[in-house]
């Protein structure tokens, strides 16, 4: 999984029918110090994350292992909202 | 998923039989500001996207989760045409 | 999928038994202008491609979705020989 | 698999229900000389690794091939604690 | 698949039970001219490769398509020992 901040949302009305009902979030990847790396990905939202929140997302076939994304053509899913992480005993991020 | 612009099409008459009937699009990857990154990928088209349109595509095994690509040797699929996206409340792309 | 030119062949007599009978091609990845990127990959050949030909290959689990590679430890397959591609109406490659 | 050092832990109370009970470790990737590469990943912990330990982790669908992670939306798992590795007969890391 | 030289071995006594019996090789990735790229990966050994040998390895779910690695949390496998490869008719590597 990777850490990311929810930067915004993507709207797509014309899409593969199996995607109906999914919310697509635009994620900015974060490094271990909670700074943006410049990389981004679009992920389905399985946890109701809001813009600005820090999340974890899973990629590849693992992104289809939620009830929300099962058997859908979706390769990234937000599967957790992050409360905090620490490195060597020091908090690097707290919600 | 990643954002991309349909740059063109790829024609391949001699191919694995399971690929018959697929349309292959040449996609230029986009960054969060709707600028090309220089990266590209060839994807099957599950939504009838035209050259110049902005789309989302899924990669890996998720690319086979459409009726169109099911059990085919295809590792990328255009699964949505993008209407718009916003970052921090500002539109970065509108169709 | 990605575009590539068949640069050569790889010979391996001692291998996992399930690989018997596969031909391994050394592929040089191409950019959208038909120039080599410096990247390469070894792929099984499902279409009878020859050295110098321009092909498309699929990676990951999708590489096992041909009769030739089914249930084999193979993560890349040449699944089409490319006739041409165009970008913005201009041919960038024609066989 | 890749080599990594356990840098810390990630706490996420609001998450996809199938993730309940998993411990998430923040891993710093290591090169062949046991130095950090600057890359990181968050992985589920299937072996009880502690902060500071050197581990191996598996990515993608293989990350779901433990009893701990089976059918969960998890794309990286710590599957071994490393005792040592050697290159050309010289130890590069010993626990 | 990618080409690599077996650089050494990794020892891990505490690991996921399904990994018992696997040998882990440290691989240095090779470019088309048989030079190291600086990249490495740890792979299970399905063919009895020795240190210094040039091999091919498969990644992702394809790495589980050997009897040796089936249903194990392993994302890379050495599936062949390379005899030779050629580029444009010239040998670039011969065992």
Query: Which residues does chain E have within 8 Å of residue D59's beta carbon, measured at their own beta carbons?
Result: 75
Structure tokens at D59: 């990515």
Are A60 and B65 within 8 A, CB to CB? no
Contact C53, C20 (CB under 8 A): no
How close C54 gets to chain B, by Cα (Å)?
Answer: 10
Query: Residue B89's pLDDT is what?
Result: 86
Closest by Cα among D34, D35, D18, D36 to D44:
D18
Query: Residue E77's pLDDT is what?
Result: 98
Angstrom distance (rounded) from CA A43 to CA A57: 8
Query: Residue C82's pLDDT is what?
Result: 98
Contact B24, B42 (CB under 8 A): yes
Query: Which residues does chain A have within 8 Å of residue B32's beta carbon, measured at their own beta carbons?
Result: 7, 26, 28, 40
Are B60 and C60 within 8 A, CB to CB? yes
Angstrom distance (rounded) from CA E89 to CA E40: 28
How close E79 gets to chain C, by Cα (Å)?
Answer: 5
Confidence of residue D89 (pLDDT cuts 50, 70, 90): confident
Confidence of residue E88 (pLDDT cuts 50, 70, 90): confident
* Share above pLDDT 70 across residues of chain A, in percent, rounded to a whole number: 100
Query: Residue C10's pLDDT is what?
Result: 98
C37 phi and psi angles, rounded to 5 deg: -95, -10
C94 phi and psi angles, rounded to 5 deg: -135, 135
C60 closest CB neighbour out of B7, B42, B75: B75
pLDDT tens-digit series, residues B26-52: 999 999 999 999 999 999 999 999 999
Q: What is this structure's pTM?
A: 0.96
Q: DSSP letters along C30-82, please?
A: E-TTS-EEEEEEEEEESS---TT-EEEEEEGGGGG-STTTTTSS--EEEEEE-
* Residue E89 C-alpha from the chain's centroid: 25
* Share above pLDDT 70 across residues of chain C, in percent, rounded to a whole number: 100
Query: Residue A88's pLDDT is what?
Result: 84
Angstrom distance (rounded) from CA C50 to CA C54: 9
Question: In this structure, is the dihedral angle defined by the CA atoms of residues E71, E73, E76 and E78, taken in order, positive or negative?
Answer: negative
List domains and CATH numbers for chain C.
2-84 (2.40.50.220)
Would the pLDDT of B17 be above 90? yes
Query: Residue C88's pLDDT is what?
Result: 84
Would the pLDDT of D88 be above 90? no
* Share above pLDDT 70 across residues of chain B, in percent, rounded to a whole number: 100
pLDDT tens-digit series, residues D18-77: 999 999 999 999 999 999 999 999 999 999 999 999 999 999 999 999 999 999 999 999
Question: In this structure, is the dihedral angle defined by the CA atoms of residues A30, A35, A40 and A41, taken in order, positive or negative?
Answer: positive
Residues with pLDDT less than 70, chain A: none
Which residues, listed in sequence order, are joined to residue A27 by a DSSP beta bridge?
A6, A41
How close E89 gets to chain D, by Cα (Å)?
Answer: 32
Would the pLDDT of B60 be above 90? yes
Which residues, listed in sequence order, are joined to residue D78 by a DSSP beta bridge?
D45, D57
Residue for token pair 């939202």: A45
Which of D3, D32, D94 to substitute to test the interface with E, most E CBs within 10 Å? D32
Q: DSSP letters along D18-72, please?
A: GGTT--EEEEEEE-TTS-EEEEEEEEEESS---TT-EEEEEEGGGGG-STTTTTS
Residue C57 has a CB neighbour count (10 Å cut-off) of: 28
Angstrom distance (rounded) from CA E26 to CA E49: 11
Task: Work out the angle at residue A21's Cα, subtended by the Cα atoms of residues D62 and C65, and round it to the nearest 5 degrees.
Answer: 35
pLDDT tens-digit series, residues C5-45: 999 999 999 999 999 999 999 999 999 999 999 999 999 99
Query: Residue A62's pLDDT is what?
Result: 96
Contact D10, A87 (CB under 8 A): no
Query: Which residues does chain A have within 8 Å of residue B44's beta carbon, measured at their own beta carbons?
Result: none
Minimum Cα–Cα distance from C25: chain E residue:
E85
Query: Residue A89's pLDDT is what?
Result: 86
**Residue D33 at interface with chain E, using a CB cutoff of 8 Å:** no
**Residue C68 at interface with chain E, using a CB cutoff of 8 Å:** no
Which residues, listed in sequence order, are joined to residue A30 by a DSSP beta bridge?
A36
**Residue B76 at interface with chain C, using a CB cutoff of 8 Å:** yes
Query: Residue E89's pLDDT is what?
Result: 86
pLDDT tens-digit series, residues E19-73: 999 999 999 999 999 999 999 999 999 999 999 999 999 999 999 999 999 999 9
A75 closest CB neighbour out of B58, B89, B92: B58
**Residue A44 at interface with chain D, using a CB cutoff of 8 Å:** no
Query: Which residues does chain C have within 8 Å of residue E59's beta carbon, measured at their own beta carbons?
Result: 75
**Residue A17 at interface with chain D, using a CB cutoff of 8 Å:** no
Query: Which residues does chain C have within 8 Å of residue B15's beta carbon, measured at their own beta carbons?
Result: 47, 56, 79-81
């Amino acid at each position: 999984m990777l850490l990311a901040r929810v930067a915004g949302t993507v709207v797509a009305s014309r899409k593969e029918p199996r995607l109906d009902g999914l919310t697509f979030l635009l994620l900015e990847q974060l490094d271990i110090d909670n700074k943006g790396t410049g990389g981004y990905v679009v992920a389905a939202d399985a946890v109701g994350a809001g813009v600005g929140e820090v999340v974890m997302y899973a990629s590849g076939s693992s992104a289809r292992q939620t009830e929300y994304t099962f058997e859908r053509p979706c390769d990234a899913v937000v599967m957790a909202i992050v409360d905090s992480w620490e490195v060597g005993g020091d908090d690097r991020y707290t919600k």
